[in-house]
Amino acid sequence: MSITISNFGRATDGTPVQKAVLKNDKLEVHILSYAAILHRILVADRCGNPVDVVLGYPTVPDYELNSGDAMGAVVGRYANRIGGARFYLYEQEYHVTANQRGNCLHSGLHGFNRTVFSMEAIPGEDAVSLTAESPDGTDGFPGTMQLEVQYSLAGSGLVVRYYATTDAPTVVNITNHSYFNLNGHASGSVLGHRLSLESPAYLETDDASIPTGRRIPVADTPMDFNEEKTIGRDIGEDYPALVQGKGYDHCYLLPDTGLRHAAWLVGPETGIRMETLTTQPAVQLYSANNLDPATDCKDGAHYSARDAVCLETQNCPDSPNHPDFPDATLLPKQTYDETTVYKFDIAPL
């Protein structure tokens, strides 16, 4: 395996941005220090040709201009939504930035998906470490948070590890927001991709995509991916959750704990298959229903709605306001420690 780090350009404020390339005989992964973005993932298709399977932009300013889609970025302090842009922690109310219909989405306006990380190779570990700090009070969140993201390759797998600490009680939910198209990032719709997602239930949401607290069994509904099917098979069904989300944009609860299998995704044209494994309690399945870039994309591509699918491993949205959801509290002297693995091969014919 090899690791190279080079200059990628500058953010609009002039901050230098670096690019790390991790490469072995199975994968080549390009990572940016801006937002710890997964910029390219090159995987061999069934004919042995390299295919870039994540969507992206050619320059850092393009990522900044399209920051609302968080493409490829590490998202936090609190990924997904916090209802009413407020929560209580130890009987104290905190108000965070409302940036979507009165709610806080992806931590407001100064989250890690808009931050330039420090980047370095970890000697002897075949990994790249990216670190950043979110000061106390950023977008209303309490405590100064230190985040480290480690990317490494293990055979045909990309391993993503998140470590976070705080100097005061706070809440945390970190994810990677890559948009996958296993036929190639510029190949158009993913509705023909085959997906299986091991989940007994999803979280019901209101018309602003805030959880109501109800867990809805997926059995006998268009939301069920326990048996493999194409993403497009049921996406147009007249089912309340799909109508409300304009497609799939829902938090699926995962059984068990520890690092375990969550999903299979197959690109039918290339034969590339991706397995997602995670220690996180849930996966947000998003069929890129609102994707509409304001600029040109990598390699001159033009992306449209449903040209990708996101499998965002994470805690549940709005957990700080739901005591029966998995606890999102992080205390001093604790370490938030979560892992996700994206593993690639060729699907059996």
Show which residues are catalytic: 177, 312
Cβ neighbours of residue 158 closer than 8 Å, sequence gap 6 or more: 27, 29, 38, 41, 151, 152, 341, 342, 343, 344
Cβ neighbours of residue 260 closer than 8 Å, sequence gap 6 or more: 254, 277, 278, 279
* Both tokens assigned to 109: 């306006």
Task: Report how far apart, in Å, the C-alpha atoms of 332 and of each of 140, 143, 144, 276 are.
Answer: 18, 9, 10, 30
Q: At 81, which amino acid appears?
A: R
- The whole-angstrom separation of Cα 139 and Cα 86 is 11
272 with 51: CB under 8 angstroms?
yes
183: left (phi over 0), alpha (psi -120 to 50) or beta: alpha
325: left (phi over 0), alpha (psi -120 to 50) or beta: beta
Q: How far does the chain reach from its first CA to its final CA, in angstroms?
A: 30
> Which three-class secondary structure state does DSSP give residue 319?
helix
Q: At 200, which amino acid appears?
A: P
* Both tokens assigned to 271: 């034969």
245 with 195: CB under 8 angstroms?
no
- The whole-angstrom separation of Cα 5 and Cα 312 is 26
* Residue burial 151-171, b: 16+ Cβ < 10 Å; e: rest: bbbeebbbbbbbbbbbeeebb
- The whole-angstrom separation of Cα 291 and Cα 330 is 32
